[in-house]
Structure 1
Amino acid sequence: MKIQAAVTHGLGEEFKFEEVELGEPKMNEVLVKIVASGVCHTDAVARDLGLSPFPAVLGHEGSGIVEKVGSAVTTIQAGDHVVLSFAYCGHCENCLTGHPTVCLNFNDLNFGGKMQDGTNRIHHHDHAVSTFFGQSSFGTFAVTNERNVVKVDPEVDLTLLGPLGCGIQTGAGTVLNRFKPEFGSSIAIYGSGAVGLSAVMAAKIAGCFNIIAVDIHDSRLELARELGATHTLNGKNVDVVQEIKKITKGGTHYAVETTGVPPVVKQAIHALRPLGSCAIVGVTPEITFDVHNDIMAEGKTVMGVIEGDSIPQVFIPQLVDYYKRGLFPFDKLTKVYDFDQLNEAFEDSKKGITIKPIVKIS
């Protein structure tokens, strides 16, 4: 079928809106009419650093309505409201033990440009176009594996829900799925973008006593306060480590580092109390640590967390329920753009004008 899609033809190039050919869903796949898609930093990294082969249709926070399902699909049916999340194989050791975010085939399935069977579903002038995250939601329709698809409450506006598929579940899941912080514990969140603010909201749900948001933009810190931060620190104005140790009487139990900025990563670790844990969730370059003094001597843990260590089919409906109860107001992070404003949405995200852009596609 012919669809409209935003195609990325080369490194750093703007999106071009073009007609492409989308293949029929195979036996374990689903055809989804895309309603909207979140704009995520990972899309920008893919465009600017070449995570996937070009040309590609990016987008990996899609939401929509199921049009058709393959003959072997059992959990989804036509008419379902769904959110699309990351691809995973479902049969490796990590998938089978409840950790699909670290699927042994994660990189191939999400960044390799092909579906799990090694073929392409998108073509342009008879040439293959890469699929991204097994979905490519910057198009009017998407074909994706059943495992990418999460059925959601039809009472909630689908336009809003796409970002739950990646960025928002990353922040919230790092707190609720990986840390599972004890009631009354302390946490610092570095960076008050969509991922960091989702972690702030999750920390409030978990009952953390001190929830400290760190950023360099006062407007974002103000929103962090509104969403549940008990303290906010502007890293340009204060000694972050010193202030956190003062607030917490020795350092935080947990830290979520979303910025990928090496000096900030070190702050996150230095501001932990002994036995504290720091989760690195941002794309981070090479950093030099004094392993003895920074980590080992105080029994600290530094870990990487992908996609909030979530099982999307379990966790995303939980986040929707939290939202309906008023406990997870992630809509305050979002701004909706028309599909033809996709390049503008990326630029606004880069400049910090919009925390979480969403493009409405149909």
Structure 2
Amino acid sequence: MEALAAVAREPHAEFTLEPITIEGPRAGEVLVQIEAVGICHTDLAARDGALPTALPAVLGHEGCGVVRAVGDGVTKVAPGDRVAITFNSCGTCPSCTAGQPSYCHQFMHLAYDGVREDGSGPITTPTGEPLTGLFFGQSSFATYSLAFERNVVKVPDDVPAELLAPLGCGIQTGAGAVMRSLNCRPDSSVLIAGAGSVGLAAVMGAVIQGCTTIIAVEPHESRRNLALTLGATHVIDPTAGPLAEQVRAIVPSGVDYAIDTSGVPAVIESLIASMTFHGKVGLIGVPADPAASVPLNIISSLSMGITITGIIEGDSVPDEFIPQLVELYKAGRFPLDKLVTTFPFAKINDAIDAQHRGEVLKPVLVQD
């Protein structure tokens, strides 16, 4: 069938709106008419060559829309169902069978290679030029997306699509880091580096967990103010002095938990220096330099019992966690609408520019 897509053709170049031809669903696949799709840093990293996705490609991995067709064997959803689309997973590796699909042993292949198990791809231009599709199992920068039964989640019709779409990656990652990966206990203290959409989702998750000291670190004053609105008890401007000193002025013994969304080694080093005994540090942010490292004082880490863990997709089991976040939003406990700014799908490049300028937190493209 014919569709319209935002195609990434060159690194660091604007997306181009182009007609595409997309195959109908094969066994286990689901064709979704996209209503809205979030823009995530990972999309831009793939476009710009930081991830192993071959260009030209149709990216996008926070889609929400309506199922229009299903392939053989699909029973979880049916045509007419509304779904959020999230990351794909194989379902058979040790991580998947243990209920940890975000650590699927095939994650890199399923997210970035853009091919089915037989090596075929579902997207071409009308002239037959192959385009890399199936990005994160969806390639939802388009009017239609081909996804898989495993990475679609039924969602209600009474929540706007632009709020459901970001749950597929960024929002579930931030909230899940607090609610699942670290499982922050009530009455604890948590330090969150970065008040973008992922960090602010973590702030909201910390409120839900009952954390009593929630510290957001962010250089932009407007984002610090929003963090306070969303439940942070304290905010820190990292330019105002050494981070660890500012943290310990609030919590002299150090914090129980810390989450990094920046990927900046110096920030991570400061988080480690801000921990109390048996503290846990969760790493979400991807560094600009793939070879980046953080110096670690082994004696100090051993004596304090500090844990440092990587976090992928907030340790989410999407069929469980996305509906949980939706219900929390409907109950007024997870105000993700405060993070989202919508743009028409055709304005994708304007949306990216606005995000780079710091004018919006979470741009979401909506289809006409």
Query: Is the TM-score greater than 0.5?
Result: yes
Which residue, out of 346, 353, 363, partners 1:347?
353
1:159 deviates by 2.4
1:10 deviates by 2.0
Which residue, out of 285, 299, 303, partners 2:309?
303
Which residue, out of 236, 240, 245, partners 1:237?
240
AA paired with 1:55?
Answer: P
1:44 deviates by 1.0
Deviates more, 1:238-247 or 1:85-94: 238-247
5+ residue gaps, structure 1 = none
1:219-258 matched pairs, under 5 angstroms: 219-258=222-261
Per the alignment, residue 36 of structure 2 pairs with 36
5+ residue gaps, structure 2 = none
Q: Secondary structure at the match of 2:363?
A: strand
Which residue, out of 344, 359, 364, partners 1:338?
344
Per the alignment, residue 98 of structure 2 pairs with 97
CA deviation map 1:278-308 (0-9, x unaligned) = 0000102412313315533321111100000
Question: Conserved in 1, the CA contact under 8 Å of 2:5 and 2:143?
Answer: yes
Per the alignment, residue 179 of structure 1 pairs with 182
Q: Secondary structure at the match of 1:349?
A: helix
AA paired with 1:72?
Answer: G
Question: Conserved in 2, the CA contact under 8 Å of 1:11 and 1:50?
Answer: no
Which residue, out of 312, 316, 320, partners 2:318?
312
Are positions 1:195 and 2:198 aligned together?
yes
Are positions 1:129 and 2:131 aligned together?
yes
Deviates more, 1:170-179 or 1:41-50: 41-50
CA deviation map 1:192-218 (0-9, x unaligned) = 000000000000000001000001011
Per the alignment, residue 46 of structure 1 pairs with 46
* Distance in 1 of aligned mates of 2:219 and 2:19: 41
CA deviation map 1:97-127 (0-9, x unaligned) = 0110010000000001213443101012212
* Distance in 2 of aligned mates of 1:228 and 1:50: 34
Which residue, out of 249, 260, 265, partners 1:262?
265
1:26 deviates by 0.4
Question: Conserved in 2, the CA contact under 8 Å of 1:114 and 1:134?
Answer: no
- Give TM-score scaled by structure 2 length: 0.96
CA deviation map 1:15-58 (0-9, x unaligned) = 00000100010021101000010000111111112520111001
Which residue, out of 270, 273, 276, partners 2:276?
273
* Distance in 2 of aligned mates of 1:266 and 1:293: 15
* Distance in 2 of aligned mates of 1:299 and 1:82: 42
Question: Conserved in 2, the CA contact under 8 Å of 1:81 and 1:158?
Answer: no
- Give TM-score scaled by structure 1 length: 0.98
AA paired with 2:171?
Answer: I
Per the alignment, residue 81 of structure 1 pairs with 82
1:107-186 matched pairs, under 5 angstroms: 107-124=108-125, 125-131=127-133, 132-186=135-189
C-alpha RMSD of the superposition: 1.1
Percent identity reads 43
1:181 deviates by 1.3
Per the alignment, residue 24 of structure 1 pairs with 24
Q: Secondary structure at the match of 1:144?
A: strand
* Distance in 2 of aligned mates of 1:54 and 1:321: 38
Deviates more, 1:179-188 or 1:280-289: 280-289
CA deviation map 1:209-242 (0-9, x unaligned) = 1000001011000000000100000101133211
AA paired with 1:267?
Answer: S
AA paired with 1:163?
Answer: P
AA paired with 2:165?
Answer: G
Q: Secondary structure at the match of 1:133?
A: helix
* Distance in 1 of aligned mates of 2:107 and 2:118: 14
Count, aligned residues: 362
Deviates more, 1:126-135 or 1:57-66: 126-135
1:180 deviates by 1.1
Q: Secondary structure at the match of 2:215?
A: strand
Per the alignment, residue 326 of structure 1 pairs with 332
* Distance in 2 of aligned mates of 1:141 and 1:176: 32
* Distance in 1 of aligned mates of 2:219 and 2:251: 21
* Distance in 2 of aligned mates of 1:150 and 1:14: 31
* Distance in 1 of aligned mates of 2:297 and 2:104: 28
Are positions 1:58 and 2:59 aligned together?
yes
